[in-house]
Amino acid sequence: MTRNILTETPVLPWKPKIVLFGATLLMNLTRRPNGTLNRRLLNLVNHTVPARNKARQGVKTLDITIDATRNLGFRLFIPTKPPPDVILPVIIFFHGGGFAFFSPNSRHYDNVCRRFAREIPAVIVSVNYRLLPEHGYPSQYDDGFDTLKFLDQQRLDGFPANADLSRCFLVGDSAGGNLAHHVACRAGKAELRQVRVIGQISIQSFFGGEERTESEIRLKKMPIVSLGLTDWLWKAFLPEGGNRDHEAVNVMGPRAVDINGMEYPETVVVVGGFDPLQDRQREFYNWLKRSGKEVKLIEYPNAVHGFYLFPEIPESSHFMKEARDFVHKVSATFKK
Ligand SMILES: *[C@@H]1O[C@H](CO)[C@@H](O)[C@H](O)[C@H]1NC(C)=O
Ligand SMILES: *[C@@H]1O[C@H](CO)[C@@H](O)[C@H](O)[C@H]1NC(C)=O
Ligand SMILES: *[C@@H]1O[C@H](CO)[C@@H](O)[C@H](O)[C@H]1NC(C)=O
């Protein structure tokens, strides 16, 4: 992605440009003023791929159910190239989509998890958490944490024997990044036997607040993230009477939880220069630092919201390399 200095707009390859425009349009057309979503329309354009037990490009996938009553489960991505005696870290992945859109079987999320599995390499658990507006706060956090508890308690059929649960990473983009943070907080207070969360990658995470930030206003014409959409999503997410300074939304704001003394994983915060949410992500980074946590900020000045989902965008490969280096570095520190 290069930057057009004259117009201050990102220059994107045509494919991501079309996909991002389509997604923005769809999120506009399907959200109703009364707080419901037109799921019928969404399902018409819901590009999903089934799980494939036969390895394709070195990764096989499997759908696992945790609790059928709330449709909770995950898609498991297993790299088949590393020899079975190589112990692999586990990434618990939360997809983005404002807590309302997409699922682990969405084409772009299936693709990106395959890349993580192959390129790191790692075993990926991509969580199928409940969505808005039918399920609001804190269902998504409950589902995320229940997935950790499930992994902690079970030795699953089909769960690779070389997956090392004592080296778990939480990775999420956009709303998935918000979710990862809250799951990290719960894990920090919980007694887990096998699962140990040692790292987090917070990719363009979705945070909010009552007061508008400079980047939210200046970049309001960028793809995906408009104030119209984010206000709608937070309204659907929050409990009756809650506002955007709620601790779940404005994590580092006036009602922030004190995490100073709490166990919290080493973190990378990823920011894009054309993402309206960037000011809040930097605040999140600064808040983690002030709270005494190990945290690194990675900035891609030319990146739009969701850039890493598109291999055509050069920053996507740079990010993948950073993710791999981070997982290897933190894993080495925690080697048993
Ligand atoms: C919201 O609006 C849609 C379409 O206008 C309608 O079908 C639906 O019943 C409404 N739902 C509620 C809860 O008001
Ligand atoms: C898309 O469709 C698939 C299968 O038909 C379903 O599992 C998934 O939940 C749907 N995703 C969304 C966001 O509606
Ligand atoms: C989506 O809606 C926002 C306002 O809510 C508007 O600024 C933007 O242009 C719309 N984009 C598309 C592609 O419909």
| Per-residue confidence band for 329, with pLDDT thresholds at 50, 70 and 90 | very high
Residue burial 230-246, b: 16+ Cβ < 10 Å; e: rest: bebbbebbbeeebebeb
The preferred substitution site among 30, 31, 48, 131 for testing ligand 2, maximizing ligand atoms within 8 Å of CB, is: 48
The percentage of residues in the chain with a pLDDT greater than 90, rounded to a whole number, is: 92
pLDDT in tens, 158-184: 789 999 999 999 999 999 999 999 999
Determine the Cα–Cα distance for residues 165 and 75; give it in Å rounded to an integer.
16
CB of 7 within 6 A of ligand 1: the answer is: no
Please compute the mean of the pLDDT values over residues 141-163 and round it to a whole number.
91
Q: Identify the CA nearest to 303 among candidates 242, 249, 225.
A: 225
Determine the Cα–Cα distance for residues 130 and 311; give it in Å rounded to an integer.
28
| Per-residue confidence band for 4, with pLDDT thresholds at 50, 70 and 90 | low
CB of 32 within 6 A of ligand 1: the answer is: yes
pLDDT in tens, 55-103: 999 999 999 999 999 999 999 999 999 998 999 999 999 999 999 999 9
Residue 10 phi/psi, 5-degree rounding, is: -75, 140
Report whether pLDDT(6) > 70: no
CB of 36 within 6 A of ligand 1: the answer is: yes
Show the tokens assigned to 168: 């778990």
Positive or negative, the CA dihedral 144, 150, 152, 156 is negative
On whether the CB atoms of residues 81 and 118 are closer than 8 A, the answer is yes
Q: How far is CA 287 from CA 26, 230, 244, 257, in A?
A: 34, 22, 18, 11
Q: Which atom of ligand 3 is nearest to the CA of 227?
A: 5
Count the alpha carbons within 13 Å of 1 in the hemisphere toward its beta carbon: 28
Q: Identify the CA nearest to 148 among candidates 170, 163, 131.
A: 170
Ligand 2 centroid to residue 65 C-alpha, Å? 15
Ligand 1 centroid to residue 201 C-alpha, Å? 38
Q: Which residues contact 17 (CB under 8 A, 6 or more apart)?
A: none
Positive or negative, the CA dihedral 96, 294, 259, 250 is negative
Ligand 1 centroid to residue 41 C-alpha, Å? 14
